[in-house]
Amino acid sequence: MPLLEKLHPALENGHPDVVQWRRYLHQHPELSFQEQHTPLFIAEKLRSYGIEVREAVGGKGVVGTLKGGLPGLTIGLRADFDALPIQDEKDTEYRSTVDGVMHACGHDGHTAALLGTARVLSGIREQLHGTVVFLFQHAEEKPPGGAKFMIEDGCLDGVDYVYGAHLATDMPVGKAGLCEGYMMAAVDAFEIRIIGKGGHGARPEQTVDAIVIGSELVGKLQQIVSRRISPMKQAVVSVGVFQAGNAFNVIASEARIEGTVRSFDAAIRKQIEAEIRLIVQGLCEASHCQYELHYLNGYPALFNPREQTALMRKLIEETNGDDAFVEAEAAMGAEDFAYYLLERPGAYFRVGAHNDSEHTKYPHHHPKFDFDEQALFETQKLFLAIIGHYLIK
């Protein structure tokens, strides 16, 4: 595609700016639902390219609309921009300047890459057969997430297809991939408060021991997947918090248990919630104690449709070579881009982001997380390939 190929030098020329933007955002991270400066930064850049901007979408989101000179489809491209409550331990000039907050998942890179894509596309708007909608989303990291609220606020109105990318430090630069069907799990969370009767450790018959009841409950919860769910289905129930007691010779009156549930199949998701509620109710009644149960349905499972998955594979191979595509494995991690794919066809793909240096290979959410900034260029190329397929004739 001649026009598309001509855009790659523009990406190369603009790469230093994109790197600078990423590093600036990395130095000034903002937590989910607390983003103040980042949306203003994004909106200012988009307006400087002559792109129509809508702010405070669904809370903190920013939507840029680039109308082409010719009629056609409307394609959405999404980047998230929130950070994590993690102390940055990197020894770099662009490390976070905010104590206890850092971009440990590449969202700064997603945002910088999409801004670079928007700048290049704004230069050929008259040759575009359709419209590009740039979706800059807040609060991906914290349920209920920003995607749901942005969609409710109309960010997908008129959009025909929507695509999202995520940098991946477990994959080398130059590679990219995705998988058909379920790629990311649905995520739910539960909190259980067991209310018993405390007392002296030497007189257990006068108490209702919250620790014993809670311990039994943890074991029962582990039986949901092993004994209530078909081994042909995939699911996880994990307890991450068990808090009770404050003295060795005192039987605790209360215990608090928190955990997470991961699943792909919607029916299995509902079944696990029902099983948890049933187990808690039955065990607490049998143990003569009270309880409180709070259950949060988080992000749905992320599902890549067959047609758009095949298209992304084709675009990755055409852009970076036949050996560039990596068949991704479904993961129990969660991603609220799933909400977009419930509303519109599209795909979510991963872009390789590590090189031979160990500092680019730390996993996501690690305090030393970083990536090869060449991945910013690779992400932009794939965003352009998507727009080229749909809007450049």
Which sequence positions are flagged as catalytic? 82, 140
DSSP state of 229: S
CA 29 and chain centroid, separation: 16
Distance in angstroms (rounded) separating the CA atoms of residues 225 and 237 = 7
Locate 383 and state its tokens.
Answer: 């965003």
Question: Dihedral of CA 362/382/135/143: which sign?
Answer: negative
- Closest by alpha carbon to 347, among 295, 392, 386? 386
Locate 332 and state its tokens.
Answer: 């129990």
Rg over alpha carbons for the chain, rounded to the nearest Å, is 24
205 is in an annotated binding site: no
26 is in an annotated binding site: no
DSSP characters over 237-295: EEEEEEEE-SSTTEE-SEEEEEEEEEESSHHHHHHHHHHHHHHHHHHHHHTT-EEEEEE
289 is in an annotated binding site: no
Q: What 3-state class would DSSP assign to 232?
A: coil
200 is in an annotated binding site: no
365 is in an annotated binding site: yes
Distance in angstroms (rounded) separating the CA atoms of residues 276 and 261 = 10
Residue ranges for the binding site? 105, 107, 141, 166, 365
Residue ranges for the binding site for Mn(2+)? 105, 107, 141, 166, 365
